[in-house]
Amino acid sequence: MRWSSLLLLGACAGGDPVDSDTASGPGCTALFASALTEPDASGPNTQIHPTSTFDGEHVWVAWNRRDSGSGFDVWVARMDCAGIVDVGPLEVTDSDDNELDPVIAVSGDRVLVAWTSDNGVGPDNLDIRYRVLDVDGNPVGGVQELTASRNGQPVTGNATMPAVDGIEGGFVLAGSWGHEDSPAFQAFAVALGLDGQVLAEAEDGELDAEFGQTDVSVAAFAGDTHLIWQEDSTTSTAPAVRAVTLGGVATQVADVGGRPDVDAGPDGVWQVWDDDAGGVGVRMPVGSQQLLRTEGTLHSASVASFSGGAFVTAMEQVSGIANKIVLWRLDTQGSVIDEHTFSTEGAVSIYTVDVTAVDADRALVVYADGANPDFRIKAEWVAFTP
């Protein structure tokens, strides 16, 4: 659901810029219709942790599928804008470790999928691994494990919760990892080349010697890298949300809030988070904020921008882990243009809901749905009236 370096490269028909969240590629608009599909319709149950991105012509979806033991593997599929899978499903993992929480982004003619790998042997059992494909689904090399340096020293220890976005000539990979100057996980970002090679030293979001930083999200825009994360207090049960443009000073987005997401598009940077009041906090590119509310409790917000606004989606609790899903279309001032509630009341709250914008009128939302343990990944295509 990220802003792609395709925008910078101008790689679409007629030379117009393409964005992984925004501009539709040849034939996409004509194919697109409101529908409910599955990227892994023939796969086994217990499909979880979906995520998605748009390459200007197709939508890519990544998710976890149960392996032959008690863990999970990472799978991907490419879908046309009619919801038909035309590449995959493909497994991108290659080990017996528990491979979790995939994220996906496009840059040029490359697709990068990253995830957390748990080898089960503590204390340093968590790693971030990733694999690069071309836009036709062919692997570009094997699985890579993030090996980066900070202040001239190799980083060792745990790394988890990856986030990724396309940049010109590659990707920016962010996440949360152990830090020698803090007792808790800290947010970081590192630049990768198109084939996944590390291009520079990793940068801290904001080194905090007391608080942990988790649920990191990243967006690249106009040459800058924007990070947002949940700040986990060691003395309180109430987390906060903080954000930074790398090289700048971090700011407090919400005194009480969590599970943030960030995206950047033609109009600038959008931020969303779970608000303590049971709504979804939204900060628009103009700098103002607003709170999206329904009659229920909202959580697990996701944002995808387009020229002139953004889509925001969130879950609304029904009972237990079962949820509705709500999708809003906002203009750049944060005003609600449209609101759509999906028919499902079984979306699973412990896994992600993710929105990708195809253009200003069309969005894809992916989520895990169903009763435990028979979860299925759903891809719901929503077309609004222009």
Between CA 202 and CA 186 the distance in angstroms is 12
Instruction: Tell me the two tokens of residue 43.
Output: 């796969």
Between CA 328 and CA 132 the distance in angstroms is 32
Segment 107-123 mean pLDDT: 96
Cβ–Cβ contacts within 10 Å for residue 80, how many?
A: 17
Tens-place pLDDT, residues 36-50? 999 999 999 999 999
Q: What is the DSSP letter of 14?
A: G
pLDDT at 17 over 70: no
Q: 158, 201, 199, 205: which is closest to 186 by C-alpha?
A: 205
pLDDT value of position 312: 98
pLDDT value of position 29: 87
Tens-place pLDDT, residues 82-96? 999 999 999 999 999
Which residue has tokens 């197709």?
Answer: 58
Q: 6-383: what CATH class?
A: mainly beta
Segment 63-87 mean pLDDT: 96
Segment 165-192 mean pLDDT: 95
pLDDT value of position 234: 65
pLDDT value of position 182: 87
pTM of the predicted structure, to 2 decimals: 0.92
pLDDT at 26 over 60: no
pLDDT value of position 279: 97
Mean pLDDT lowest for which of 8-17, 66-75, 198-207, 259-268?
8-17
Between CA 108 and CA 85 the distance in angstroms is 21
Segment 304-309 mean pLDDT: 97
Between CA 88 and CA 57 the distance in angstroms is 16
Long-range contacts of 268-275 (CB under 8 A, 24+ apart): 268/221, 269/219, 269/221, 269/226, 270/303, 270/305, 270/310, 271/228, 271/243, 271/303, 272/301, 272/302, 272/303, 272/312, 273/228, 273/241, 273/301, 274/298, 274/299, 274/300, 274/301, 274/314
pLDDT at 19 over 90: no
3-state class of 58 per DSSP? Answer: coil
Tens-place pLDDT, residues 122-170? 899 999 999 999 999 999 999 999 999 998 999 989 999 999 999 999 9
Q: How buried is 193 (Cβ within 10 angstroms: 0-12 exposed, 13-18 middle, 19+ buried)?
A: middle
pLDDT value of position 5: 36
pLDDT value of position 236: 67
Give residue 20's pLDDT band: very low, low, confident or very high (50, 70, 90). Answer: very low
Between CA 31 and CA 287 the distance in angstroms is 36
Cβ–Cβ contacts within 10 Å for residue 54, how many?
A: 31
- Residue ranges of the domains in the chain? 6-383
Mean pLDDT for the chain overall: 92
Between CA 261 and CA 196 the distance in angstroms is 23
pLDDT at 3 over 50: no
